Chains A and B, each alone.
Chain A
């Protein structure tokens, strides 16, 4: 019974986006627009790039930090955890309001591209990524692993990339996939900062071309769904792919 409530709008989206309003019958025009419409296509590319950059930045920033905290600075654990979970309490909307000044400065140095959103996005995905990586780090004996590696002559970089990372792979994948989903779906910050990412574009188009927006939205949902489904298949165990608890 729940299935009906939830799946119906999704079906409606599929139907709406493929309907030929003029001649009746079905058409794939709306879906083709995902590639044909320049502005939309650009936005898709931008969002995908943003997702990739955000994941890369997040991993580079977060993984070494968390490993370091566990090994050498346990007193900082509380601080790091607090910082990572803070974005849950500070809504994106609030961040974007206060972001103006910071971004004047950022665009001065790094230009106008939407890719500068990467930094903010890294902050937004912190809660999800932190949980995933923390769970994975807890499951291995980090101390022993790194000491073994170091005693065999490995430097820090090698230790992290060759020894630790392969062992927390499921946590990293988890963090990466969720981050991708978050970035692709993000609207608040991008739109109020004036950048044209996928979601922003969808809303803009929505005013004039309903079916295409619906098609793009459905595509976003499906993509996210597939990502998370793959994730749940790849990671054993019941620990949830979810949010805050």
Chain B
């Protein structure tokens, strides 16, 4: 195909590419460049600073938060996905549950924070009830605003995300495989051990990775719950954007953001590898 022809055919793609470049590529590039260029001078100082003090502990806490909620979300989500798949596929309940999962998993960051405040916050419904019945203050120590509180709240949206991502894999498990295994002499346990679990494992692990990336990059919920302090990476980024004096270096946010992209990109790359294998089998 001639070059002129190809150029001409590319023209209509220009508006789309322009928008994406300006509002996605350039910001990303700014981050990457900004993290190694301080006032026009190439320097790795900011990157080094990532591995000290506040920044390092924020990173570790983020990893802990993401890992814990990914694990909890994956396991409970898989069970819930199984329950959903076992119910008839056009039932209203199933649709409602999947829609609810979609909303909770992706679009409810701030709303979830407030949901938990309403439940186990200082004046939360559960808090007050427990206070009345058992006499102790569930929200007393302000644990909701700490790492363990975040783990609870994050799990609340990790489980639905797992459901959404894992249900297609479960649906890809053909009935013929179970019947073939049974006709060849497999007991239920043998079927799971030899066929179903090996087939589902890549999808399960992939989904868990997705959950990890999701939690790692999440901002809204934590920002809504925690107004002071920066226990995790996203909140540290907030702090360094809002006040230019964190760690005595302006623009530290760039390095932090770079760190975030790197972690998420690595996890997503691993996720893609696993998903490719699993979709070869299960679709």
Q: Is B37 an interface residue when CB atoms closer than 8 A count as contact?
A: no
- By the criterion CB–CB under 8 Å, are A93 and B12 in contact? no
The answer to whether B260 and A98 touch across the interface, beta carbons within 8 angstroms, is no
Establish whether residues B111 and A89, one from each chain, have CB atoms under 8 Å apart when the complex forms. no
A183 to chain B, nearest CB (A): 9
Cβ of A91 under 8 Å from chain B: yes
Contact A122 B19 (CB under 8 A): yes
B110 to A181, Cβ gap below 8 A?
Answer: no
Contact check, B16 vs A61: say whether CB atoms are below 8 A apart. Answer: yes
* Selected contact of B111 from candidates A11, A76, A217, CB within 8 Å: A217
Whether the Cβ atoms of A213 and B107 lie closer than 8 Å is: no
- B116 on the interface (CB 8 Å rule)? yes
Cβ-based interface call for B65 (8 A): no
**B92-134 toward A: CB 8 Å interface, digit per residue (1/0)?**
0001101111111111111111111111010111100000000
Smallest CB-CB separation from A10: which chain B residue?
A: B115
A residues 61-88 touching B (CB-CB < 8 Å): 61-62, 64-65, 68-69, 72-73, 75-76, 80, 83, 86-88
Total cross-chain contacts (CB, 8 A): 259
B253 within 8 A of A: yes
The residues of A that contact B103 with a CB separation of less than 8 Å are 181, 221, 224-225, 228
Complex Cα distance, B237 from A9, in Å, reads 29
A-side interface mostly: helix
Residue A20 at the B interface, CB < 8 A?
Answer: no
Q: Does B59 contact A (CB under 8 A)?
A: no
Asked if B140 CB lies within 8 Å of chain A CBs, one says no
B48 in the interface, Cβ–Cβ < 8 Å?
Answer: no
B261 within 8 A of A: yes
Q: Which residue of chain B is the closest to A3 with respect to CB atoms?
A: B97
Interface stretch (choices A132-140, A147-155, A164-172, A184-192): A184-192
CB atoms of B107 and A184 under 8 A apart = yes
Interface size class of B (residues with CB under 8 A): 35 or more
Q: Interface residues of A toward B: which range?
A: 35 or more
Q: Which residues of A contact B268 (CB under 8 A)?
A: 88-89
> Which residues of chain B are within 8 angstroms of A224 by Cβ–Cβ distance?
102-103, 107-108
Chain A residues contacting B124 (CB-CB under 8 Å) are 12, 16
Interface residues of A in 207-245 (CB under 8 A from B): 207, 210, 213-214, 217-218, 220-221, 224-225, 228-229, 231-233, 238, 240-245
Query: B123 near A97 (CB under 8 angstroms)?
Result: no
* A8 is an interface residue with CB less than 8 A from chain B: yes
Assembled-state Cα–Cα distance A45/B47 (Å): 42
Interface status of A108 (Cβ within 8 A of chain B)? no
Residue A99 at the B interface, CB < 8 A? yes
Q: Kindly provide the distance from the CB of A55 to the nearest chain B CB, expressed in whole angstroms.
A: 14
A98 touches B29 (CB 8 A): yes
CA distance A190 to B17 in the complex (A): 23
Which B-chain residue is minimally distant from A82 (CB atoms)? Answer: B20
B114 and A202 contact, CB distance less than 8 A: yes
A182 within 8 A of B: yes
A-B pairs with the 6 shortest C-beta distances? A98-B27, A91-B217, A185-B107, A16-B118, A98-B30, A242-B164
Interface residues of B (CB under 8 A from A): 6, 9-10, 12-13, 15-17, 19-20, 22-24, 26-31, 34, 76, 80, 83, 89, 95-96, 98-119, 121, 123-126, 156, 159-161, 164-165, 167-169, 171, 207, 210, 217, 219-220, 223-224, 227, 234, 237-238, 241, 253-254, 256-257, 260-261, 264-265, 268, 275, 279
Sample 23 A-B pairs with CB under 8 A, ordered by A number. Answer: A2-B80, A12-B115, A12-B125, A80-B16, A83-B17, A87-B24, A91-B219, A92-B217, A95-B24, A100-B30, A123-B20, A123-B23, A126-B20, A181-B103, A186-B220, A187-B109, A187-B220, A202-B114, A202-B224, A225-B99, A232-B98, A241-B99, A242-B102
